[in-house]
Amino acid sequence: MELVEEPNNKHNNQIEFDGQGFDLFGILILNWLLTLVTLGLYYPWARVNLLRFYYGNTSLNNTSFVFEGNGLELFKGFIRVFALFVGLYVLFIYGNLTQNIPLMLSGAALLAICFIAAIPFALHGAMKYRLGRTSWRGIYFGYRGNRNELLYRTYTGLLLTIITLGIYFPWMVNDLRVYIISNMRFGNLRLRYHGKGSELFIIYLKAFFLMPITLGLYSFWFQKEYYNYLIEYTSIEQEGQSHLLGSEISGIELLELGFTNFFLVIITLGIGAPWAQIRRITYLINRIQIPETVNFDTVQQTEDEYKDATGEDLLDFLDIGIV
Amino acid sequence: MERAYKGRYYDGLQSTAIVVSVFITNTTLNIQYQDADEQTVLIEWPKEGIQKVSLASTHIALKYGKEYPYQQVELTDIDFIAAYQDWTGGQLMQRWLQMSSTTMVLALLAGIVAVMVGLYLWGVPWIADKVAQQVPVEYEVDLGKSIASQITTNKTIDSNRTEAINHFFEQLKLETTYPVAITVIKSPVVNAFALPGGQIVVYDSMLVTLQKPEELAALLCHEFAHVQLKHSTRNIFRTLSGYLFVSALFGDFSGISAVIIGNANELRNLSYSRELESEADGFALAHLKKQRIDIKGMIGLFEKLQQSQTVTVSEWMSTHPDLSNRIQKATYYQQNNPYTVITNDSMQFYFNQLQQSNEWQ
């Protein structure tokens, strides 16, 4: 078998984002127009256009990632999520119209509880769909987490966060990351997360004290610590070997990026927003380092096909972003 | 022999990239390479089973397979992309999309902007106006009453003058389906305005500024025109529809552009309200003529307002057309519509009542 040996074919395991602001601008304009004309029904297709753009412009060793999801799949999920929440809202509004205080309060409580309870369902479904529909060189990603396990972890985490008045929050986030990331697969490669709640707590604690002193400027260094910690404590496991990722994000560069993007958007009255977004994503993705010891040429196909997008739509509805 | 295009093939089982030659035949896409033993391997993909995975201007990925996982081939040859699209046919629209994506995006953008600006300036106001015309009188009356009660809560109503001015109004013999109710409130500001459904508010300083019953007649005819022609209701619908349209369009944009657009909306409304003022002036002039009331009253009213402007600043200024312009128009009307003026003693009587006992002088 002849392996690729083109001169421009990189083997340094560099992950690169190469999207252009103008292309994103074009997609956003078209999405916006079609969503407007179709009174919002185009929305799932609009999201697919964006996801395809972001994944298609991210490459590893010169091969792009592919997002194979389509508007129809997202539309089906969109309808389910829509039906669920329309039902809840109708109940809530009905409760308000009766002017019956206990009914109103229980309606509001039910709505709030459903929103919170939906989070792990959304996370689970979205991970399965997003990863299951993403491939690289024909090899699919996958998520093998167990939904009940995630539900248990999320609800106990939330409960402890409430009891401890928020102090437990970093431990909860860390616990969920460990579970979710460690269940991610790329063919026969798997990811693992080694972060610790106490260390994440220190990152938050530093931000808590330094943010007011620096009038918020510390937020850039907080982002740096936050992203770097997330990436640097993630490893790729291949044939019993563990390879830790690296991240070279710097606070001063984030600050520079933040300010220039701010002016880019202001001066252009918002039209420059896609370019600003591209600059940020390019920066964050290109700073990720994958050790050259990982061999991406021999990854075996292992994951099953998965096409249910309900979780993905639910996550979007709840306005939660996943990296 | 068909032309060979260089590509990379993945068998769907492993991520190893295999350099292959791709040929397009009538019914199949053929993929050919040399394996480790230097044996030629030929893979034939029937045309109907091939799916496009991704397509960009310089890159195409295709997959084939009855079931998951799929084989995949990736090419970066622009000639292949064109040839493949010729082969599959019916993709004209898509090819056109990618061939001229830059020009197309720009042309589309210009088109959208033109359409949106057109909609904003003419389409939306036109629809809003049509809708406003359909609003039932009872609804306008209710709306006017509730606004009037809000406005007058913190103000003192001059009940004597309120009574007198309503008698004065009756003398004008204006026909209407609206229950017109004029309220005089105490304020140092020289102002008067009409609300939907027949509510008219006149500030007492305005009354004192006037010197002749004809001037008051002109003022009330003007304000009445706003009521009769549904100006306030139309204005409300216009403003709301403008904001709705703008926020629907720019919902996702930054707050800064929203502020700029909001100001543009204000500007547009100002010019609209000037348009309505001219319309109301026209109505007032025609009615004065009908009742044989002297047009000089209109001119006098504008002159008094011009004088009062240097002293107090009021809403009257910003939303109304230039006063000297209005005086010119009224004078022109007077010259072209000569008629014998009939004086009305009752009007004079109520006007005198209104002039008495003013606390602001």
Smallest CA-to-CA distance from A61 within A300, A303, A292 is with A292
pLDDT of amino acid B249? 67
Which chain A residue has its CA at the smallest distance from B106's CA?
A26
Separation of first and last alpha carbons in chain A: 36
- Whole-angstrom Cα distance, residue B247 to residue B69? 46
pLDDT 10s digits, B207-231: 888 888 899 999 999 999 988 888 8
B113 has a chain A CB within 8 A of its CB: no
Widest CA span in chain A: 75
> Which residues of A fall below an 8 Å CB-CB distance to B?
1-6, 22-23, 25-26, 29-30, 32-33, 36, 52, 56, 63-64, 66, 68, 136-140, 187, 265-266, 269-270, 273, 296-301, 304-305
Determine contact, residues A194/A236, Cβ cutoff 8 Å.
Answer: no
B260 interface with A at CB cutoff 8 Å: yes
Average pLDDT over residues A19-23: 87
Q: Is the pLDDT of residue B144 over 80?
A: yes
Instruction: Give me the mean pLDDT over the B108-112 stretch.
Output: 78
Q: How far apart are CA B121 and CA B140, in angstroms?
A: 25
**Secondary structure (3-state) at A190:** strand
Structure tokens at A159: 């409960």
What would the pLDDT profile of B23-32 be if each residue is shown by its tens digit? Answer: 888 888 888 8
Gap from B68 CA to chain A (nearest CA, Å): 7
pLDDT digits (tens, 9 = 90+) for A31-43: 888 887 777 788 8
Whether residue B54 and residue A66 make contact (CB cut-off 8 A), yes or no, is yes
Decide which of B258 and A159 is more confident. Answer: A159
Query: pLDDT band for position A11 (50/70/90)?
Result: low
Residue-averaged pLDDT of chain B: 80
- What percent of chain B is predicted at pLDDT more than 90? 5
Highest mean pLDDT among B75-84, B179-188, B262-271: B179-188
How close B359 gets to chain A, by Cα (Å)? 49
pLDDT at residue number B316: 45
**How far does the CA of residue B179 sit from the closest CA of chain A (Å)?**
33
| B59 in contact with A, Cβ within 8 Å | yes
User: For residues B44-59, b (16+ Cβ closer than 10 Å) or e, as one string?
Assistant: ebeeeebeebbbbeee
Question: In which order are the strands placed within the sheet that holds A184-186?
Answer: A15-17, A58-60, A63-67, A134-136, A139-143, A184-186, A189-193, A234-238, A241-244
**What pLDDT does residue B265 have?**
58
Of B13, B323, B333, the C-alpha closest to A302 is B13
Read off the pLDDT band of A3 (50, 70, 90).
very low
Q: Does the pLDDT at position A199 exceed 90?
A: yes
* Residue B215 identity (one-letter amino acid): E
Q: Which residue in B10, B53, B105 is closest to A68 by CB distance?
A: B53
What pLDDT sits at residue A231? 93
| pLDDT band per the 50, 70, 90 thresholds, residue B106 | confident
Over range A242-249, report the average pLDDT. Answer: 92
**Can you give the pLDDT at residue A183?**
93
Check pLDDT > 50 for residue B312. Answer: no
Note the pLDDT of residue B47.
83
Question: Given an 8 Å threshold on Cβ–Cβ distance, is A29 in contact with B105?
Answer: yes
Q: What is the pLDDT of residue B95?
A: 55
Tell me whether residues B33 and A2 touch, CB distance under 8 A. yes
Chain B residues with CB under 8 Å of A298 CB are 14-16
Q: Report chain B residues whose CB lies below 8 A from the CB of A33.
A: 108, 112
Q: Does B324 touch chain A (CB under 8 A)?
A: no
* B147 close to A (CB below 8 A): no
Burial (Cβ within 10 Å: 0-12, 13-18, ≥19) of residue B212: middle
Q: What percent of chain A has pLDDT over 90?
A: 42
Model confidence at B258: pLDDT above 50: yes
What's the whole-number mean pLDDT along residues B299-320? Answer: 67
Residues in chain B within 8 Å Cβ distance of A56: 54, 56
A-B CB pairs within 8 A amount to 101
Q: Which residue of A has its CA nearest to B35?
A: A1
Q: Distance between CA A178 and CA A233 in Å, rounded? A: 10
B116 touches chain A (CB under 8 A): no
Task: Name the pLDDT band for B102 (thresholds 50, 70, 90).
Answer: low
Q: Kindly report the length of chain B.
A: 361
Digit-coded pLDDT (tens) for B56-95: 767 788 888 777 778 889 888 888 888 888 888 755 555 5
Closest residue in A to B59 (Cα) is A64
pLDDT at residue B259, as a whole number: 54
Cβ(A299)–Cβ(B12) under 8 Å? Answer: no
Residue B361, pLDDT > 80, answer no
Cβ A138–B257 below 8 Å, yes or no? no
CATH code for the structural domain at B4-92: 2.30.29.30
Where is average pLDDT lowest: A4-18, A70-84, A187-201? Answer: A4-18
pLDDT above 60: residue B317: no
- For chain A, percent of residues with pLDDT exceeding 70: 94
pLDDT in tens, A43-80: 889 989 899 899 989 989 888 898 988 888 888 888 88
Q: Write out the two tokens for A208.
A: 């808590």
Q: What is the mean pLDDT of chain A?
A: 86
Residue A172 host element (H or E): helix A169-182
Q: What's the pLDDT at A321?
A: 58
Q: Where in chain B is the domain with CATH 2.30.29.30?
A: 4-92
Convert chain B into a string of H (helix), E (strand) and C (coil). Answer: CCCEEEEEEECCCECCCEEEEEEECCCEEEEEEECCCCCEEEEEEEHHHEEEEEEECCEEEEEECCCCCCEEEEECCHHHHHHHHHHHCCCHHHHHHHHCHHHHHHHHHHHHHHHHHHHHHHHHHHHHHHHHHCCCHHHHHHHHHHHHHHHHCCCCECHHHHHHHHHHHHHCCCCCCCCCEEEEECCCCCCEEECHHHEEEEEHHHHHHCCCHHHHHHHHHHHHHHHHCCHHHHHHHHHHHHHHHHHHHHCCCCHHHHHHHHHHHHHHHHHHHHHHHHHHHHHHHHHHHHCCCCCHHHHHHHHHHHHHHCCCCCHHHHHCCCHHHHHHHHHHHHHHCCCCCCCCHHHHHHHHHHHCCCCCC
Q: How confident is the model at residue A207 (pLDDT cuts 50, 70, 90)?
A: very high
Q: Do residue A296 and residue B63 have CB atoms under 8 angstroms apart?
A: no
**B36 with A1: Cβ contact below 8 A:** yes
